[in-house]
Amino acid sequence: MSNFQELIKKFDRIRDFSRDFLVYGIRTRNTQNIKSKRSYDNEKRRIESFLSDYMVETSHVSGKSVNISINPEEMTMNPLFALWETKSFTKNDIFLHYVLLDILENSNKMSISDIYDEVIEYIDEDHQMMDMMTVRNKLNEYEKLGILTKHKDGKQFLYALRTNRFDSLSDEEKMELKQGIDFFSNIMSFGILGKFLSRNLNDSESQTYQMKYKHYFMFHTLDDELLFDVLRLIENEQKGMFETWNKTNTKIIKKLCTPLMVITNVKHGRRYVVVYDHSSKNFYSLRLDKLKKVSCQEVDSEFENYLEELKKLKVDSWGVYLNRTNTTEHICMTLKINEDKEQYMIKRILLEGKHGILEKVDENVFEYHIDIIDTYEIIPWLRTFIGRIIDLKGTNKKAVGMFKNDMRWMYKMYEIDGECLNE
C-alpha cells in the first residue's frame, strides 16, 4: 500500500463499503463478497481515516470485522457527510481555485487573456507553467457551478465573481438561517449541500443549538448522487438504463425503465425508485441502495399514463409492492383494546394504519381491516400488536398461515406453553 492516497476520484468506491460497515459491520476481509482483497484494504483504510471517531474493530475466527458505530443520541449532524469531502483533485485544480478567486475578488469583469496574464504572475520558478486552456476550462467549470458569471463582450467572454447572496443578511439573520439549514441538512435529501451552505454562514459551528433525531437513517446520504440522477430523469420524463445488484449482490442486472417516483420508508430505512419496467411491462420498486448506475435514455411519451396508473395502484399498496393484476387481498385483525385506559392504542392504529378502517365490534374489542395488494407487507406491523390479537383472518391464506406459524415458532423459542403460563 505504498501508493496509498487518501482522496478518491469516484464516490462509488467508498459507497458500498461504508454502507456495509455501518449497516452490517459483521463481515471480515475473508467473508466479504469482493473481487479484490487489496481494494478492500484500501477502501477500509480510507473509511477508517474519514470516520476515525466512529470505527470499531472486532476480532472473529475468520478475521476482523469493521463497524461504523454511531450513537444517535450524540449525533447532531450526519457523520457520513464527511465522505462527500473526499474527492481527489490535481494541484492545478486547487491552485486555480484560490488564485482565480483572488484575481476576480477585486475586479469587475475580466477577459480570459487578462486573467491568464495575472495567473502566471502567481506561478513561481519552481512550478511548471500552465497553458491558457487549463485556465479557460476552470473558468467555464466555475461558471457552470454558479461561482462565476460569463458574458459575451464583442468577440470575447468576460468573467466575474458572483456575489455572495447572503451578504445583505445581518449576523443575527445568518445565525437564524444557519439553525434552519442545519436542521434541513439532516432531514432533507442532498443534505450535504446544506452542510456546505451552513459553514458559509458562520465559521464557528457551535453557536446554534444542534437538535437530535429519531428514525433517522444516516446511510441515505450515500445514495444521493444516484438519487439526483433519478430525479432528473423523472423531471424530464425520460427512460433510464438502470444497473442494479441482484438479491445476493453477486450480479449486476440491466433494465430499461421509466422512473416515476422515489419512496423513502421511514420505518425500514429503505429507499426505492418506483419504475415502469419496459421488458416485463409492469411496475417495480427498485432499491436505491442496490442501484449501481443509471444512464439517461430517450423521453418516454407514456410517462403521464404510467404515473396515473401507478397512483391508482399506490392507493391499495401497504408498502412498495405493486403489480397490474388489479386484485387486492383483504385482511382483518380483531384486537382487545381497553377503551378507558388504552386510547393511545386506538390513536396509534389511526396514525399508522394507512387506509385501513378501525371499527368497534364489542366492548373493548375492535376490528381493523384493510384491502391491500400484498398481505405479506403488512405482517411486520401486525406483529407489533402481539399481546392483544384476538383473531386474524385474510383472503391470502398463505400469508395468514405464515403469521400463525411464526407465532407458534415464537412460543417455542421462548418456551411459552401451559406449564410456563401456570407459574
| Near other proteins in 94-153, by CB under 8 A | 94-95, 97-99, 101-102, 105-106, 122-124, 126-128, 145-147
Least spacing, CB of residue 288 vs other proteins, in Å: 11
Nearer to other proteins, 151 or 347 (CB): 347
Whether residue 139 contacts residue 115, with contact meaning beta carbons closer than 8 Å, is answered with: yes
Out of 180, 241, 246, 327, the only residue in the binding site for other proteins (CB under 8 A) is 180
Nearer to other proteins, 61 or 301 (CB): 61
DSSP helix/strand/coil, 63? strand
Map residues 276-315 to x or -, x wherever contact with other proteins holds by CB under 8 A. Answer: ----------------------------------------
Nearer to other proteins, 156 or 188 (CB): 188
Nearer to other proteins, 5 or 325 (CB): 5
Burial class (CB in 10 A: 0-12, 13-18, 19+), 13: middle
Residue 331: phi, psi to the nearest 5?
-135, 140
Residue 2 binding other proteins, by CB under 8 A:
no
Give the span between the Cα atoms of 359 and 20, in whole angstroms.
Answer: 44
Least spacing, CB of residue 155 vs other proteins, in Å: 27
| Near other proteins in 390-419, by CB under 8 A | 390-392, 397-398, 400-402, 404-411, 413-414, 416
| Near other proteins in 34-93, by CB under 8 A | 45, 48-50, 52, 56, 58, 60-62, 65, 67, 69-73, 82, 84-89, 91, 93
C-alpha grid cell for residue 413?
Answer: 423459542
C-alpha grid cell for residue 229?
Answer: 440522477
C-alpha grid cell for residue 382?
Answer: 401486525
Nearer to other proteins, 112 or 392 (CB): 392
Q: Of 240, 232, 237, nearest to 301 (Cα)?
A: 237
Nearer to other proteins, 132 or 332 (CB): 332
Nearer to other proteins, 51 or 112 (CB): 51
Whether residue 333 contacts residue 389, with contact meaning beta carbons closer than 8 Å, is answered with: yes
Least spacing, CB of residue 154 vs other proteins, in Å: 26
Give the span between the Cα atoms of 372 and 389, in whole angstroms.
Answer: 20
Residue environment code for 303-342, b if the CB has 16+ CB neighbours within 10 A, otherwise e: beebbebbeebbebbbbbbbeeeeebbebbbbbebeeeee
C-alpha grid cell for residue 46?
Answer: 480510507
Burial class (CB in 10 A: 0-12, 13-18, 19+), 179: middle
| Near other proteins in 203-222, by CB under 8 A | 208-209, 211-219
Map residues 230-269 to x or -, x wherever contact with other proteins holds by CB under 8 A. Answer: -xx-xx-----------x-------------xxxxxxxxx
Burial class (CB in 10 A: 0-12, 13-18, 19+), 232: middle
| Near other proteins in 347-386, by CB under 8 A | 347, 350-354, 379-381, 383-384, 386
Cα dist. 317→271, 273, 321, 328, 334 in Å?
Answer: 16, 15, 7, 9, 21
Nearer to other proteins, 167 or 279 (CB): 167
Least spacing, CB of residue 392 vs other proteins, in Å: 6
Out of 229, 277, 309, 371, the only residue in the binding site for other proteins (CB under 8 A) is 229
DSSP helix/strand/coil, 198? helix
Nearer to other proteins, 69 or 280 (CB): 69
Give the span between the Cα atoms of 386 and 345, in whole angstroms.
Answer: 13
| Near other proteins in 184-203, by CB under 8 A | 184, 187-190, 192-194, 196-197, 199-200
